[in-house]
């Protein structure tokens, strides 16, 4: 029988390694010649999944009062879910590595990009069965501000060439295999939360998605910059919807949507009946059906589309811009029902029909073997009237030329 003493010591060392190794990495990479401060929080390659972690500007010897931390959630259906919170000194956002790097909330003072889903917990994918309930299992976990739909398929559940597709695909319920926090070494020291998922099965797609959400310290802007790669040696269809969902305070009776838009087409007859109010919002109504509008964005000279959602008083809003070529369609989802009052403003590679329909209308793009696509969206939070007005004024002209369809979208 050996003494336990050395064993106890080795356990201490193990704990230190587990808890602090990433932190040590930071220290060793704070060398000025390093291109960035790179902190691995989760890594299949390195066999790491940090439980709790934090980083501040001063840890890196930088100015500013920003911070990033990650915690592990406990209890119920949240058990084991990782949650990253980034506070850049001006706004905070939360990222859920365990749920496909979805962004739960962005906050800047009283302005929140978020909504009040009846689902309150951040549901671990182990408790989600995407094909359950006729392919609606995705709704069991739906509560984030921003969740990506895709990547092999997105849209409504149903059969496509003999195969059942679940609502909005698999990427939003897939834990990230690699998660890193990168702080640019050069000013303005942009802080980047990056995560990778692989949507792959044998004899199926082999899509790799590197997501990035980032912000500069002190800025009111948040940027998504995702890269999708087809690792297969075959052509691969894909679909993506950036399902961004807005409730209070931006959504309220009198809220309005502005955008650089060519055409608005109602999804169905119920949406068609209200088409002349497509860009304004009513208050919550118990039991009302959703209205969906299929929007064709218009690119400016740089190729970008621009949108603004503002509250009723026009003193809070969010504007966003992205390249139309990458995300040529835009879905406005008006869900006025009081159990989950929300509007989805969703740039995408298509509309949210089942893939079988989207394919028929040529809205399912294909990646060549080894091919890549980048999706970049810039969000800007507006917390005063001047800021909202400035954006709205730019978009006002655009709105006068929007073509309103008298027909519902074909399917």
Q: Kindly identify the residues of this chain, within the stretch 75-134, that bind its own copies according to CB under 8 A.
A: 75-80, 117-121, 125-127, 129-134
Task: Scan residues 213-232 and list those touching its own copies (CB under 8 A).
Answer: 231-232
Query: Coil, strand or helix: which one is 27?
Result: helix
State the nearest-atom distance from the C-beta of 343 to its own copies, in Å. Answer: 14
For its own copies, which is the closer residue by CB, 126 or 401? 126
Using the rule CB under 8 A, give the single segment among 314-322, 331-339, 350-358, 402-410 that binds its own copies.
331-339
Task: Scan residues 173-202 and list those touching its own copies (CB under 8 A).
Answer: 174-178, 197-198, 200-202
d(CA 12, CA 18): 10
Q: Is 239 in the site for its own copies (CB under 8 A)?
A: no
CA 176 to chain centre: 13
d(CA 288, CA 193): 38
* Residue 262 CB coordination number (10 Å): 16
Cα distances (angstroms) measured from residue 297 to each of 45, 161, 327: 40, 30, 9
- Check: CB of residue 403 under 8 Å from CB of residue 297: no
Using the rule CB under 8 A, give the single segment among 159-167, 248-256, 262-270, 357-365 that binds its own copies.
159-167
Category of 61 on φ-ψ map: left (φ > 0), alpha (ψ -120 to 50) or beta: left
What pairs with residue 178 in β-bridges? 43, 196
d(CA 164, CA 160): 6
For its own copies, which is the closer residue by CB, 234 or 277? 234
State the nearest-atom distance from the C-beta of 202 to its own copies, in Å. Answer: 4
Total of residues contacting its own copies (CB under 8 A):
76
State the nearest-atom distance from the C-beta of 184 to its own copies, in Å. Answer: 24
State the nearest-atom distance from the C-beta of 12 to its own copies, in Å. Answer: 5
For its own copies, which is the closer residue by CB, 108 or 355? 355
């Amino acid at each position: 029988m050996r003494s336990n003493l050395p064993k106890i010591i080795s356990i201490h060392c193990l704990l230190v390694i587990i808890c602090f190794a990433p932190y040590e990495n930071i220290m060793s990479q704070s060398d000025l010649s390093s291109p960035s401060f790179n902190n691995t929080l989760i890594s299949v390659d390195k066999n790491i999944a940090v439980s709790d972690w934090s980083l501040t500007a001063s840890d890196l010897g930088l100015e500013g009062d920003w911070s990033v931390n990650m915690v592990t959630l406990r209890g119920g259906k949240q058990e084991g879910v990782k949650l990253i919170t980034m506070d850049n000194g001006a706004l905070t956002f939360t990222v859920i590595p365990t749920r496909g790097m979805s962004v739960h909330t962005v906050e800047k003072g009283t302005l929140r990009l978020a909504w009040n889903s009846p689902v309150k917990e951040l549901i671990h994918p182990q408790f989600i069965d995407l094909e359950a309930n006729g392919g609606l299992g995705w709704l069991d976990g739906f509560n984030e501000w921003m969740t990506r739909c895709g990547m092999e398929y997105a849209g409504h559940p149903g059969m496509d060439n003999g195969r059942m597709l679940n609502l909005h695909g698999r990427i939003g319920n897939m834990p990230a295999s690699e998660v890193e926090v990168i702080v640019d070494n050069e000013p303005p020291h942009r802080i980047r939360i990056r995560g990778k998922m692989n949507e792959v099965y044998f004899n199926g797609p082999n899509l790799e998605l590197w997501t990035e959400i980032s912000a500069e310290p002190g800025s009111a802007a948040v940027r998504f910059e995702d890269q999708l790669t087809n690792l297969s040696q075959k052509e691969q269809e894909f679909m993506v919807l950036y399902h961004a969902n807005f409730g209070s305070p931006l959504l309220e009776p009198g809220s309005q949507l502005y955008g650089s838009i060519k055409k608005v087409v109602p999804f169905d007859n119920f949406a068609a009946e209200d088409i002349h109010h497509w860009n304004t919002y009513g208050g919550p109504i118990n039991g009302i059906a959703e209205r969906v509008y299929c929007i064709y964005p218009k690119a400016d000279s740089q190729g970008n589309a621009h949108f603004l959602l503002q509250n009723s008083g026009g003193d809070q809003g969010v504007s966003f811009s992205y390249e139309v070529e990458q995300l040529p369609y835009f879905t406005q989802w008006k869900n006025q029902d009081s159990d989950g009052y929300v509007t989805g403003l969703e740039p995408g590679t298509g509309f949210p029909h089942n893939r079988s329909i989207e394919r028929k209308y040529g809205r399912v793009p294909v990646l060549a073997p080894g091919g890549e696509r980048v999706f970049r969206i810039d969000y800007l939070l507006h917390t005063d009237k001047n800021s909202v007005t400035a954006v709205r004024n730019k978009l006002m002209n655009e709105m006068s030329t929007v073509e309103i369809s008298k027909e519902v979208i074909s399917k």
